[in-house]
Structures are given as C-alpha cells and as structure tokens.
Amino acid sequence: MQELALRVGGAAGDGIATVGETFCRLFTRQGFYAFGHTGYQSVIRGGHVWFQARGSPERIWSQGDGCDVLYALDRQTVEVHAPTLRPGGVLVFDPEKFSVAPEQVPAGVKLFPVPTLQMSRKFASEPILQNGVGMGVVSALAGQPLSVLHGILTDSLGRKGTVLSQNLSASEAGFHYATEHIGALDRALPEKGGTPKLLMSGNQAIALGAVAAGMKFLSQYPMTPASSIMHWLAAHAEKFHVVVKQAEDELAAINMAIGASHAGVRAMTATSGGGFSLMVEAFGMAGMTETPLVVVESQRSGPSTGLPTKTEQGDLQMILGASQGEFPRVVLGPGSVAEAYRETARAFQLAEDWQTPVVVASDLYLSEDVQGLDREDLPALPPPASLFTVPEPMEGGNGYLRYKDTPSGVSPRAIPGQRGLMFDAGSDEHDEAGRLVSDVLSGIPAYVEVRRKMMEKRMRKLSGIRAATPPPTLEGPGDAELTLVGWGSTALPVRDALPLLKGQGIAVNYLHVAQPWPLHGEAIARVLRSAKRTLLIEQNFSGQLGRVITAETGIRFPDTLLKYDGEPFYPWEIVTKVMEVTGRVHR
C-alpha cells in the first residue's frame, strides 16, 4: 500500500500540534486519507511532544509503523524517533541547535540539516517562525505543492496579518531550500488523490454526532481526554443552540444532565475514568428514574490519576459494574472516528427509546487522534422526533402512570410543564405512579410485590435492547485461520494490520464488539465456535471484554495480546503476535 508518514517532535510549547495538523491537511486537502497521532504529556511547557501524520490514497486507520520524514526540533526527538525512519527517509534538523551523527539514523536514511532559525530571522525575530520554514521543507519532501501549504496557513492564521505573511514567506523559503537540496522523496504520494477529505478527531465526531442527534444540553467538568468535547461544543453553542455548562465537579455534571433530560431535552455529560468514578451514584439514578442519559467515558491509563495523557481500555469493568444495585445500561465502544459520530447518535436514540443510561466508551487514542474521512462517512441524521410519548393535554391525568409496567419495560414519558400529568421521579424505589415505596412501605407484603414487579419491569429492557441492536460484525475474510476479538479503538490498528497479514499470506479476521453491553452472547458464541483459533486483543491488563464474553458464553481466550503501557497498538505488534500464534515465528 502506498503511504507516506511525516513526523515532528520537540518540547511542549514548540507548536508541535499545529505543525502536525498542518501535515495532516497536506494530505486531506489533496484528497488523501490521513491519520494523525499525537503523543504528549500533562505539562504545558517542556516534556516531549510528537505528532505523526500519515497519508495514503487508500483508507488508513492508525498511525502505522515508522515514518519517512522526521522534523526534529530537539535532540530528544532524534534519540526517540530516528530509529523509526524507514529507508529512503529524511531527518530534518537545524544544525544551529544540535548536530546529528550519521550513525544515529538507520541505513538508507538521509540527514538534511536546514538552517531554519537563521532563515526565519529574515522575516521575524520569534524563534517559533522556524516552524514556518520547517513546514515548507516538509511539504517539498512530501511532494505537495507550496500552494496547498499556503492555503492551510491562510485558513489557520487568516486574521493575524503579519504573522500570516511572515509564515508564508518563511515556508516559501523552506520549500525552495528543500526543493534545491533534496526534492520530493521517492515514496512521496502523487500530487493529487481523490476528493478532499475531512480531518476530524474522535471527540469532534462525538460532539457533532450528539448535536446531529438532537442534543441540546451538555454539562461537563474538564478532564483529559474528554475536555475537547466541551471545547468544541462551547465554541459552537450559539450556532447549534446547545447549552454547554461547565459544572463545579462531575457529580454536578451528571446530575445537571439528568435534570435537563428529565425536563425534556436530549442531554449528555462527558468525562474520563476519574470523573466517571464520581458520577457513579447518579448513573444509577438515571437507571432508577428511567431518565434517558448519554455519558461519554473517554478512558485514559489508570488507576487513579494514572497516566493522564496516555491511552487505555481499562474502564470497561467499571462501566459495566458502576453503581449499586441492578439496572439496564448500554455500553457502546466505537472503533473509528466515523463510528464515534454514528454511535453517539445511536446512543441518544437508545437512551430515549429505552429510557435508561447509555455510555459511549471512547479512549484517549480515539478521542484525540484525527482521521481523514469522506463526507459520506458522517451521514446527516433526521431531526429527532418529539421526546414525549404522552399526548398533551390529558386533563385530570389521574390515570397517568409514569412508570407503568409494560411488556417492553418502557413507560409513557411526560415532562414537566405538561398539563395534568404531574408525577414524581424518585431515586428511591417507587410504584408505577412514582410513589415512594422505600422508607415506609418496603417490607409490607403488597409492596414486596411492587418492588419485584418494578425490578422486573426495568430489567426487562435489557433483552429488548439486545434484540433491537445489531450483533457485532466480523471484519475481514470469512474463512480465516485466526479470529481477533476486541472492542472500541482497538479496531483502528487491527484494520491496518489485517492487510499486512494478508500480504504475508495469513488470513485473519476481526470480531469488532462495538456494543460490549448488552452483549450479543449468542451471535458472538456462534462466531467464536466456528473460528479456527482466537486471539483476544485489548488495551488493558486483564482482558476485560474477554472476561465478559467468557461469563456470557463460557468461551475462553487462551491467546491474548494485552497492552497497558499507555501507548496504542502499532500494526507491527499485532502482526508479530499473529505470526507467533499461528506458528509462523517462534519466540
């Protein structure tokens, strides 16, 4: 597969994210698919930050393996990343800052010293302008015309007059310098791909999917890697008519969302594992009061504060077990940026159809990395129908039972303001009318019966949800010698590994469990029983999805590929493990 990977690295504060995003857009504006992966730490200055922008005329799903251009802003970048340069690649650095010895790069890699600082001084005194030169250099190496880079810079710096003109001049100088000294790499993509692509992060897709699904209210407390959902929505709040409320803590955030939903609008809260830990009690209240609620849980490495800027899928067991007692919940684990959009929208529909909380489980990798997409990947959604299932007015309303026991477990829902339908929503156990059972009445035989009935009414929803939702899909060849099993963002590197394995003559497919709960146990068992061999692949220590599948189907996973070092899977790791499991290589 034709592809090109541009990598930049430096210290926090060096503007790495901006440079990285610009590299991605060099691809997407020219009609190539792209994937942008960022590695950073929880510091605002200092620390090591890097970004890999990978482009291809074909769909790509991950950061891939290795890079072709490395633009190193500091010595550490050379130490960490030079070994990943592929033959034919180029290391760009400024000899004024540090020197690089030829032994520091793999065979077949060129050193390309560029006096970026010296060149940028012609246009401005701020050292940050060196990136203008650097971006020009990399564009030339990537074989993309200067006009594309200038278009990107004009759009991002548009209003900042002199800054823009300085950057245009600096990048032009860099572009010509590289053209004169090296020219485009052999691996460079053609000048033009297909139609221009969108460039979007998982969190942006979640936010957009939520608005498309009719969300009117978001309450959130900042926490990496969920914060950018709030940032994007806050910036668009007026345009999309959404109330974005930064709460005083996560306890407030989820309770506010429940209040807004109770009052009749689609509402969401978003957080990471630490914040979700604080939300747990109210999460159960959404189940008990049968209030539709969408919670985005973007996981990062735990436990506790863990690795705040590193990825993991370690919260599945917590999400499945969160809150005391039993109530129906849905957990979705989207496996791409486009899926994040669609699954978030689906979460709102499920929450409302079944009047219960739905979790969209993302993680830092999916939430923050960016992917190039086609417009068709994000289909427009029909405007949501009315949220209320009780016709208005229902004068008198004495017969109205908010928690009526129905065959599906879902009861007609009224909202405050509707005439004659007044009821109490209670976190205590209650009867069909919403009257309190606990405290005074529990234990009395008639109310023992009410409790049993109300539990069964709520829990009944689970089988309905399972029946109404699609079972997981098997991706790749039907006849495979190995079936990978995973959920959520693991799908990204797996989708890049499958063609590599095919290239090695190994047929492997992937069971993508995009809905870990309620689990489609029977459908999964059917796939697993007919699989020649399985490999459980998860970004956690104990194989949490695997444990759920085992509990639901009795099927165990003798072979596992589990990663919990904070870094996402790289396709080569998956390939290596598969070769080992299928007996191609022996360790």
The least CB distance from residue 424 to other proteins, in Å, is 4
Please identify, among the stretches 163-171, 173-181, 210-218, 307-315, the one whose residues bind other proteins according to the rule CB under 8 A: 210-218
The least CB distance from residue 244 to other proteins, in Å, is 8
Q: Which of residues 81-140 bind other proteins (CB under 8 A)?
A: none
Q: Which of residues 526-565 bind other proteins (CB under 8 A)?
A: none
Q: Which of residues 24-53 bind other proteins (CB under 8 A)?
A: 28-29
The least CB distance from residue 555 to other proteins, in Å, is 39
Question: SS3 string of 146-200?
Answer: HHHHHHHHHHHHCCCHHHHHHHHHHHHHHHHHHHHHCCCCCCCCCCCCCCCCEEE
**Which is nearer to other proteins, 264 or 464 (by Cβ)?**
264
How far is residue 280's CA from residue 323's CA, in Å, rounded to a whole number? 5
The kind and range of the H/E element at 140 are helix 130-142
Q: Which of residues 226-255 bind other proteins (CB under 8 A)?
A: 237-245, 247-249, 251-253, 255
Q: Which of 422, 448, 551, 585 binds other proteins (CB under 8 A)?
A: 422
Q: CA Rg, the chain, in Å?
A: 26
The reply on whether position 447 binds other proteins by CB under 8 A is no
**Which is nearer to other proteins, 276 or 517 (by Cβ)?**
276
Please identify, among the stretches 130-138, 181-189, 216-224, 304-312, the one whose residues bind other proteins according to the rule CB under 8 A: 216-224
* Per rule CB under 8 A, count of chain residues that contact other proteins: 75
**Which is nearer to other proteins, 70 or 205 (by Cβ)?**
205
Give DSSP secondary structure letters for 226-254: THHHHHHHHHTHHHHT-EEEE-SSHHHHH
**Which is nearer to other proteins, 29 or 48 (by Cβ)?**
29
The least CB distance from residue 150 to other proteins, in Å, is 15
In this structure, are residues 215 and 243 in contact, taking their beta carbons and an 8 Å threshold?
Answer: no
**Which is nearer to other proteins, 348 or 517 (by Cβ)?**
348
Q: Which of 381, 474, 506, 528 binds other proteins (CB under 8 A)?
A: 381
The kind and range of the H/E element at 207 are helix 202-212
Q: Which of 70, 141, 198, 524 binds other proteins (CB under 8 A)?
A: 198
The least CB distance from residue 103 to other proteins, in Å, is 42
C-alpha of 308 from chain center: 15
Question: SS3 string of 298-319?
Answer: EECECCCCCECCCCCCCCHHHH
**Which is nearer to other proteins, 260 or 581 (by Cβ)?**
260
User: 13 φ, ψ to 5°?
Assistant: 100, -10
Q: Which of 419, 453, 526, 533 binds other proteins (CB under 8 A)?
A: 419
The least CB distance from residue 459 to other proteins, in Å, is 21
In this structure, are residues 512 and 491 in contact, taking their beta carbons and an 8 Å threshold?
Answer: yes
The reply on whether position 204 binds other proteins by CB under 8 A is yes
In this structure, are residues 23 and 32 in contact, taking their beta carbons and an 8 Å threshold?
Answer: no
The reply on whether position 396 binds other proteins by CB under 8 A is no
The reply on whether position 318 binds other proteins by CB under 8 A is no
Burial of 248 (0-12, 13-18, 19+ CB in 10 A): exposed
**Which is nearer to other proteins, 422 or 444 (by Cβ)?**
422
The reply on whether position 215 binds other proteins by CB under 8 A is yes
Please identify, among the stretches 54-62, 132-140, 433-441, 494-502, the one whose residues bind other proteins according to the rule CB under 8 A: 433-441
The least CB distance from residue 284 to other proteins, in Å, is 9
The reply on whether position 261 binds other proteins by CB under 8 A is yes
How far is residue 373's CA from residue 315's CA, in Å, rounded to a whole number? 28
**How many other CB atoms sit within 10 Å of the CB of residue 416?**
11
Residue type (1 letter), 292: P
In this structure, are residues 314 and 540 in contact, taking their beta carbons and an 8 Å threshold?
Answer: yes
- Describe the crossing of helices 273-289 and 250-262 by its angle, rounded to 10 degrees: 30
How far is residue 547's CA from residue 544's CA, in Å, rounded to a whole number? 5
According to DSSP H, which parts of 504-559 are helical? 521-530, 544-553
Q: Which of residues 269-308 bind other proteins (CB under 8 A)?
A: 281-282, 285, 289
Structure token pair of residue 152: 């990107």
The least CB distance from residue 450 to other proteins, in Å, is 15
Handedness of CA 130, 135, 140, 146 (dihedral sign): negative
**How many other CB atoms sit within 10 Å of the CB of residue 326?**
12
Strands 293-299 and 357-363 come out as parallel
**Which is nearer to other proteins, 275 or 302 (by Cβ)?**
275
In this structure, are residues 270 and 206 in contact, taking their beta carbons and an 8 Å threshold?
Answer: yes
The least CB distance from residue 25 to other proteins, in Å, is 8
Q: Which of 135, 199, 500, 555 binds other proteins (CB under 8 A)?
A: 199
**Which is nearer to other proteins, 415 or 507 (by Cβ)?**
415
**Which is nearer to other proteins, 106 or 264 (by Cβ)?**
264
The reply on whether position 465 binds other proteins by CB under 8 A is no
C-alpha of 32 from chain center: 21
The least CB distance from residue 18 to other proteins, in Å, is 16
